[in-house]
């Protein structure tokens, strides 16, 4: 078992790639009562075209299969729903689908191993029939309609669709009523057998565990399955330019919502795209966003004091295979003003450079935030899983942050914060 220790935060991760290709990561937290396990597959809503290992033809499936699979995995041949079984044991279980991975998880203080039996059983034993697939279409159809009426989701999705011409990140994770109508049990089994192979999966366990002992418990419950070859994922060619700068939709909201997007070159086409470089770039963008519109920035104070915004916007850099973008979201009676003043602020920072004192202060705060993430077993496990599928070790953020200086951040500012790649999505009243 490989042991990686981060001396700065006094944390260790024990990692082993098993014979069947499954990577298991264990982060022991001595004396912590909560236990958390997450088991993910490197398969999200973006994977609609692929070549199955051992085949030569391209398989194309309807949008929404990854999410549909996640829903169906809980239903068992004995008529039980594994989510209900786990709840009865007294553990808090869940699952989610993102653009690039799907994950199953539970957390508890007691009954961990009893729950582990059910958990590892249902993820390894899918049960799809014509009847249960048809029934699920109605349930997911309701979910799709609910999301259509959800302003926070629409403002986000509209921003992505303003940025991306073809790349599937622009599509709703759940698919549409039309695309899910084409899903059948054969499609589900094909995607399950392709993407739920242990060699395309990873598991993270966090809590008060002995690493060797918990690894043996995992191995005992694994179905005998051989590692697959590499899955060839096929994505459409995405132009660098945006689709359109602005999109406005009217919905019932108490105050207009906005999302500002900045389209970036994906990491796999980024110059010098070693994993270190990707992490450094991510850190630099997080610092720049705080300098531009964080709570201590001049722009935030101005917009807050004149009533344009009443709370700090959420600011994220999202990236994975084939895509990367910045998203800034919040509420404002004048979203256009937020957008234009942010553009002006970016322009001024490019002209005047980055204030060194402010840069160091923000970097220190960000370092503190990174360290805080290691206080919670949920944050740790989710972070290590998501980063693993990006081929990043989460410790790299702690290791790299002090190597990111203002000169490097200024270079990223000029490369990424391009006015021609900016979009504004508004949900108006």
Catalytic residues, which ones? 70
Does residue 314 sit in helix, strand or coil? Answer: strand
Does residue 235 sit in helix, strand or coil? Answer: coil
**Which residues have a Cβ under 8 Å from the Cβ of 143 and sit 6 or more positions away?**
174
Q: What does the alpha-carbon distance between residue 255 and residue 252 come to, in Å, rounded to a whole number?
A: 9
CB 341 within 8 A of CB 304: no
CB 57 within 8 A of CB 194: no
Structure-token pair, residue 66: 């990854």
Q: Which of 101, 70, 277 is nearest to 204 (CA)?
A: 101
Q: What does the alpha-carbon distance between residue 358 and residue 409 come to, in Å, rounded to a whole number?
A: 12
Residue 2, judged by CB atoms within 10 A of its CB (0-12, 13-18, 19+), counts as exposed
- Residue ranges with strand state E in 99-245: 102-108, 201-207, 232-233
Tell how many helices (H) and how many strands (E) occur in the chain. 15, 15
């Amino acid at each position: 078992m490989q042991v990686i220790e981060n001396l700065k935060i006094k944390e260790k991760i024990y990692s082993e790639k098993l014979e069947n290709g499954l990577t298991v990561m264990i982060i022991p937290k001595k004396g912590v009562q909560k236990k958390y396990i997450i088991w993910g597959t490197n398969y999200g809503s973006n994977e609609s075209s692929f070549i199955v290992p051992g085949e030569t033809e391209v398989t194309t499936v309807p949008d929404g299969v990854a999410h549909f699979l996640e829903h169906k995995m809980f239903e068992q041949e004995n008529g039980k729903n594994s989510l209900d079984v786990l709840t009865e044991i007294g553990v808090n279980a869940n699952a989610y689908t993102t653009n690039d991975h799907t994950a199953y998880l539970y957390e508890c203080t007691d009954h961990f191993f009893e729950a582990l039996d059910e958990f590892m059983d249902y993820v390894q034993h899918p049960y799809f029939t014509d009847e249960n697939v048809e029934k699920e279409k109605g349930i997911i159809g309701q979910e799709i309609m609910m999301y259509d009426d959800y302003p926070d989701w629409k403002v986000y999705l509209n921003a992505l669709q303003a940025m991306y011409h073809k790349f599937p990140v622009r599509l709703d994770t759940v698919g549409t009523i039309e695309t899910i109508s084409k899903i059948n049990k054969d499609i589900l089994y094909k995607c399950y057998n392709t993407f739920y192979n242990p060699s395309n999966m990873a598991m993270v366990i966090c809590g008060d565990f002995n690493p060797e002992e918990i690894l043996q418990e995992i191995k005992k419950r694994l179905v005998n399955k051989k590692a697959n070859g590499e899955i060839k994922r096929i994505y459409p060619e995405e132009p660098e330019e945006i689709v359109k700068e602005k999109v406005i939709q009217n919905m019932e909201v108490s105050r207009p919502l906005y999302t500002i997007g900045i389209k970036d070159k994906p990491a796999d086409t980024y110059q010098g795209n070693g994993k270190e470089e990707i992490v450094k770039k991510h850190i630099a963008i997080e610092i720049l966003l705080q300098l531009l519109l964080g709570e201590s920035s001049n722009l935030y104070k101005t917009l807050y004091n004149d009533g344009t915004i009443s709370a700090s916007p959420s600011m994220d850099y999202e990236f994975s295979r084939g895509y990367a973008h910045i998203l800034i979201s919040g509420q404002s009676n004048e979203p256009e003003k937020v957008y234009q003043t942010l553009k002006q602020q970016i322009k001024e920072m490019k002209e005047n450079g980055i204030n060194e004192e402010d840069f160091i202060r923000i970097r220190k705060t960000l370092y503190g935030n990174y360290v805080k993430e290691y206080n919670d077993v949920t944050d740790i496990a989710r972070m290590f899983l998501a980063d693993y599928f990006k081929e990043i070790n989460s410790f790299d953020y702690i290791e790299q942050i002090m190597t990111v200086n203002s000169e490097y951040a200024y270079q990223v500012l000029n490369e990424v914060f391009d006015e021609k790649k900016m979009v504004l999505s508004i949900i108006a009243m």
